[in-house]
Amino acid sequence: MSAVLVVDVGTSSVRAAVVHDDASVAAEVATPLLPSSPEPGLVEFDAVAMAAAAVDVATRSLEAHGGAVAAVGISNQRGSTVVWDRTTGEPVGPGIGWQDLRTVFTCLEMKGQGLRLAPNMSATKAAWLLDTFDADRTRDLCFGTVDTWIAWTLSGGTVHATDATNAGITGLTTHGGEGWAPEVLAALGIPAAMMPALVDTSGVVGDASALPGAPPIAALAGDQQASLVGQGGVRPGLAKATFGTGGMLDVCVGGERPAFEVQGPAGTFPIVTWRRGGTDTWGLEAIALAAGTNVEWLRDDLGIIASAAESHEVAASCDDTGGVVYVPALLGLGTPRWDYGARGTLLGLTRGSGRAEVVRAVLEGVAQRGADLVEAVEADAALTLPSLRIDGGMSENPTFVQALADASQRPVEVSPQREATTLGAGLLAGLAVGVWPDLEEVGATWHPREVVEPRPDHAPDRERWKEAVDRAAGWLPDLSAVEF
């Protein structure tokens, strides 16, 4: 039986697992690696600790597997940034997390120069690290997103590369993603010599000499694109949504890049879903800034549920919300209406509104946001999604899954893997070394744990929902006016 090792670096943990040729996942090992927030709006991580954790969990997963693997795949949080010394391999400063907001004003300044960059992108984070630790640009440094840093680590400093799925989130590539954009590098003072090689998402880039047996590193993939592949989304029109802390919907659209530069009319973004043989397959991504965060709010801040799982039990104890509507805008609104000044809103409360109705309203509100994402990608991609495949923590909540099917009026196919990212990175690595012969075979590995059908008689009033969103929007006008 052929097998592939995956190292998956998330925002709060580093994981490793072995993916077998039947698409089963085993030998899972994880260690927490929480980011720090030294000041409001700042999100940092210890890149040295991240590298050590990656080697540790990978080694332990291989030991648990008890045999050789054909390749290694790397999947990672996107946009997070590391800058390190090429000779010593030591980071020059902290790793900067994708949620970090220290470069908001730089992004606005760049917008005035005609460059559209967002704070979650790597571009201004790299510039900040250079301005802080190499102001005169005299040191021989390397830039990388997390995939680059982990590939450098596993290869003993011989591989300095990133793939198109990660490079496209940096804000530093050309319109078509073929290479690094000289005008953006120049505007931010980023030397071209520190940039990694742009390589295929699925393809051998070097050997993981830091691991037993030195298996080839054969895939680098951003987490959302890996999740799309892990849920069999390898043909145009197939989509997945991940409902974790936030919500991300990604759809494959094919070989032609979407026509819009940065953001479509419905608020989606063009992404490279994967690159093979130097050829890109494109997709669109829609974003809900808060999904599971709302359940955490019920648990940790309001204290009306003891666990995330209890949200299902409490919500299921009532037949409906009794007219209560919740707009999950605790961090603002994402696709389709980008409004960072919107705030969470509860509407329709009466003296009869109780704990169960509020909890159900929260789950249904997140489901309504999922339907917003479906409508947005359908509008910007000019296609119809036949179904929606989902993973993430909220995919284990039956009340939420049924509400999502009802709100979107589409069958919802639930991933057998709570986090399909690991499986997707394994499939991409195995594809590169012949474990799976082609993308059709990769797509054929998809077997949902269950399919939840929509109930036409339970379809929510979407116009009423949009009225509720209007009331949540613009609560902090100055913040609502900010656009990237």
In this prediction, residue 1 has a pLDDT band, given cuts at 50, 70 and 90, of low
The sign of the CA dihedral 47, 53, 56, 57 is negative
Q: Which CATH superfamily is domain 3-223 in?
A: ATPase, nucleotide binding domain (3.30.420.40)
Supply the mean pLDDT for the chain. 96
- Other C-beta atoms closer than 10 Å to the C-beta of 18 total 23
At 422, list the tokens: 């690991």
CATH number attached to the domain at 232-414+454-484 = 3.30.420.40
Give me the residue spans of the domains in the chain: 3-223, 232-414+454-484
pLDDT of 166 above 90: yes
pLDDT of 154 above 80: yes
At 52, list the tokens: 């050590």
Length of the chain: 484
Which parts of 231-354 fold into alpha helices (H)?
Answer: 292-296, 310-315
In this prediction, residue 175 has a pLDDT band, given cuts at 50, 70 and 90, of confident
Intrachain domains 3-223 and 232-414+454-484 with the same fold = yes
Helix (H) or strand (E) holding 226: helix 223-230
Backbone angles phi, psi at 122, to 5 degrees: -80, -25
Please report the pLDDT score of residue 126 as a whole number.
98
Q: What is the pLDDT of residues 75-108, one digit of tens each?
A: 999 999 999 999 999 999 999 999 999 999 999 9
Q: Is residue 442 within 8 Å of residue 232, measured between CB atoms?
A: yes
Q: What does the radius of gyration of the chain's CA atoms come to, in whole angstroms?
A: 22
Please report the pLDDT score of residue 248 as a whole number.
97
Please report the pLDDT score of residue 349 as a whole number.
97
Omega cis (within 30) before 336: yes
The DSSP annotation for 370-417 comes to: HHHHHHHHHHHHT---S-EEEESGGGG-HHHHHHHHHHHTS-EEEPSS
Backbone angles phi, psi at 160, to 5 degrees: -125, 90
How far apart are alpha carbons 391 and 8 in whole angstroms? Answer: 16
Please report the pLDDT score of residue 187 as a whole number.
97
How far apart are alpha carbons 311 and 363 in whole angstroms? Answer: 8
138, HSE (Cβ side, Cα atoms, 13 Å): 2
Q: Is residue 184 within 8 Å of residue 115, measured between CB atoms?
A: yes
pTM, two decimals, is 0.96
In this prediction, residue 176 has a pLDDT band, given cuts at 50, 70 and 90, of confident
pLDDT of 239 above 80: yes
**Which H, E and C letters describe 91-148, residue by residue?**
ECCCEECCCCCCCHHHHHHHHHCCCCCCCCCCHHHHHHHHHHHCCCCCCCEEEEEHHH
* 281-303: average pLDDT: 96
In this prediction, residue 236 has a pLDDT band, given cuts at 50, 70 and 90, of very high
Please report the pLDDT score of residue 177 as a whole number.
86
Q: Is residue 97 within 8 Å of residue 82, measured between CB atoms?
A: no
Q: What is the pLDDT of residues 395-439, one digit of tens each?
A: 999 999 999 999 999 999 999 999 999 999 999 999 999 999 999
* 213-234: average pLDDT: 98
pLDDT of 174 above 70: yes
* 134-144: average pLDDT: 97
How far apart are alpha carbons 395 and 476 in whole angstroms? Answer: 32
pLDDT of 387 above 80: yes
Q: Is residue 363 within 8 Å of residue 244, measured between CB atoms?
A: no
Q: What is the pLDDT of residues 327-374, one digit of tens each?
A: 999 999 999 999 999 999 999 999 999 999 999 999 999 999 999 999
How far apart are alpha carbons 252 and 266 in whole angstroms? Answer: 17
Q: Is residue 364 within 8 Å of residue 403, measured between CB atoms?
A: yes
* 445-465: average pLDDT: 96
Higher local confidence (pLDDT), 259 or 209:
209
Higher local confidence (pLDDT), 175 or 107:
107
